[in-house]
Amino acid sequence: MSVLSELAVGKSGILVALDLPESVQNHLMHMGFVPEARVAVLRRAPAGDPTVYAVDGLEIALRRETAAAIRVRVLEPNPVTNAPVEGVRELAGAGR
């Protein structure tokens, strides 16, 4: 488990929870920040804040303090396709 602000550009995660005031939660949820939504980090401003995220077909810029209150499950890249996938990392040679 991680927070959205810690994901690097190009990484993705699955939204777990919003630890924000209810009014902010409602606003973000209307834009697609709902549990189990996939969120991708697209780009950061030159000074590092805000960061642009893709969720539900939208690009949304969030300040670091807001993104730090959004818990996500990080998606690890598939070693074959390099596409982000959710799940347990497989150990090389496991089951042999």
Report pTM. Answer: 0.78
Mean pLDDT within 44-61: 94
| pLDDT of 43 higher than 80 | yes
pLDDT score of 11:
94
| pLDDT of 95 higher than 50 | no
| pLDDT of 91 higher than 70 | no
> Quick check: 60 and 53 in contact, CB under 8 A?
yes
Mean pLDDT within 78-91: 51
> Quick check: 53 and 42 in contact, CB under 8 A?
yes
Q: Report the first-to-last Cα separation within the chain, whole angstroms.
A: 30
The mean-pLDDT minimum among 41-45, 47-51, 75-79 falls in 75-79
Number of continuous H segments (helices) and E segments (strands) in the chain: 2, 8
| pLDDT of 29 higher than 80 | yes
Which amino acid is located at 61 in the chain? A
> Quick check: 17 and 69 in contact, CB under 8 A?
no
| pLDDT of 25 higher than 50 | yes
* Domains of the chain listed by start with CATH number: 2-76 (2.30.30.90)
